[in-house]
Amino acid sequence: MMKIIMIGCGKIGTTILSNFVDEGHSVVAIDTNAEVLEDISNIYDVMSVCGSGTDCDTLSEAGVESCDLVVAVTDSDELNMLCCYISGKMGAEHTIARIRKPEYNMNSLGFLRQQLGLSMSINPELLAAHEIYNILRLPSAVKIETFSQRNFEIVELILKNESPLTGVRLMDIRNKFKQKFLICVVQREDDIYIPDGNFVLQKGDKIGLTASPSEIHKLMRAIGIDNKQAKNIIIIGGSRTAYYLSNMLASSGNRVKIIDKSSKKCKELSKKLPKAVIINGDGAKQELLLEEGLKNADAFLSLTGLDEENILMSIFASLNKVPKAIAKVNRNELSEMALKLGLDCIISPRKIVSDVLVRYARALENSKGSNVESLYKIMDDRAEVLEFNVSPDFEGVGIQLKNLKLRKNILIGGIIRNKKALLPSGDDEFAGGDKVIVVASGIRLNDLSDILA
């Protein structure tokens, strides 16, 4: 358990705080709004201090001198940086600031982090843009997470009626397909399965499969899924996420059109994104979308600040046969509703940032040398996939996997050795220096040794 101070308890701060509490950490919340702190204290088992994160007395009351981690996520980048700088000077071991402005992230972020002594900076909009960009590389996927410098991936897919994987036992799949992949987790309605070889896939299952990127593309072709990268993209809402994403897409030769009803924002985007087409208009108007070529788009992204509008417009795009519709939705209850309405791809910047910070906290906690390198929540947050470094003194080194006694609901999804991805069999074994991909359901893993029974 670590002592963590959260400065700024808005929507994203509360989401992060909630996950830290779920992880079992001792959390102190700091905010200038007493009503916000009262609401948080009524819901979560945390201490709270009303005041500014730049005030030494407030930080001292929160116990910054003996604090393991300070996370500052107020609405001001500058305030967050100052909070972390003062906290570090007063004794906080690690500090993380939310820094969102493009001018900081594009030009001087490394310099600022070094000068301010920041352990990490987080940018929810930039992280969300990266996640969307990954999905647009493989539009048939619901979610893609990468490991070990993109040498290995876990991809979530939903099995349709016509999928050749439907009705097949997992042990028969490798005989049916030559591609090297492993189906390591399945979500069926509200249930999560870490499947064995006798598990039979059904229509509507959401599956998580691990493989190298090249093998995943081969598999998509083999099972008849169009994995053509989206090239013609329409974005509703000129948000920071839209800006970061459009920069990435335009640099890769994609055609990007952004629609926003603010003429001021459109003028700014036109200057910053010369390769994108910027339209001043209301993206919630169906006639405008059809006029701007919705039916010819490869992907439609609704990234406004209104969850409800994002859901409705993405459903409208799906009804107009757009191959990939993605909605930005931050509220959990609306995410669940959107999935039930048929949207299979939801992006939540809050959840993405929370995953990053949970991973960082687990890595800090670890003291045995097999650190958490990556951590992602998958299957609507009901399972986790983690990447561990294997230390030479790990007790499982040199033992064949079939002889390792693993805890229930654990599966070894991959081994990365000398930058090469291996799909493990019972005859394989861990070696010092390997990176290991572990899929877990209902278990919190801090260290690779936690997988052993």
Residue 368 lies in a domain: yes
* Domain match, 248 and 279 both: yes
Instruction: Say what the pLDDT of residue 226 is.
Output: 65
The structure tokens listed for 33 are 């709004």
CB 42 within 8 A of CB 59: no
What pTM did the predictor assign? 0.86
Residue 255: give the domain boundaries: 232-322
Which amino acid, 201?
L
Q: How many residues does the chain have?
A: 453
Q: What is the pLDDT of residues 33-61, one digit of tens each?
A: 999 999 999 999 999 999 999 999 999 99
- Which residue positions in the chain have pLDDT lower than 50? 367-369
Within a domain: 421: yes
Residue 200 within any structural domain of the chain: yes
Are residues 303 and 208 part of one domain? no
User: Which pLDDT value is given to residue 368?
Assistant: 42
- Residue 422 in any domain: the answer is yes
> Residue 42 in contact with residue 105, Cβ under 8 Å?
no
Residues 356 and 299 in one domain: no
Residue where a domain stops, chosen among 305, 322, 339: 322
Asked whether residue 400 falls in the same domain as residue 435, the answer is: yes
Q: Each residue of 349-386: b (16+ CB within 10 Å) or e? A: bbbbbbbbbbbbbbebbbeeebbbbbbbbbbbeebbbb
Q: Which of 144, 133, 136 is nearest to 208 (CA)?
A: 144
Q: Return the CATH number at 409.
A: 3.30.70.1450
Residue 190 pLDDT:
83
Assigned domain for 85 exists: yes
Q: C-alpha distances in angstroms, 356 versus 99, 121, 361, 431?
A: 14, 11, 9, 27
383 and 402 belong to one structural domain: yes
Closest CA to 179 of 227, 146, 242, 221: 221
Residue 353 DSSP symbol:
H
13/118 same-domain check: yes
Please, what is the angle between helix 109-116 and helix 77-90, to 10°?
30
Q: Of the candidates 122, 154, 177, which is a domain's last residue? A: 122
pLDDT value at position 369?
A: 45
Residues 204 and 247 in one domain: no
Domain-located, residue 346:
no
Predicted pLDDT of residue 237:
95
Is residue 54 classed as helix, strand or coil in its secondary structure?
coil
Query: Cα(450)–Cα(445) distance, rounded to whole angstroms?
Result: 6
In a domain? residue 43: yes
Q: How many helices (H) and strands (E) does the chain have?
A: 15, 22
330 falls within a domain: no
How many separate domains does the chain show? Answer: 4
Domain with residue 71: its CATH number is: 3.40.50.720
Point out the domain boundary residue: 200, 222, 244. Answer: 222
Residues 204 and 159 in one domain: yes
Pair 377, 439 in one domain = yes
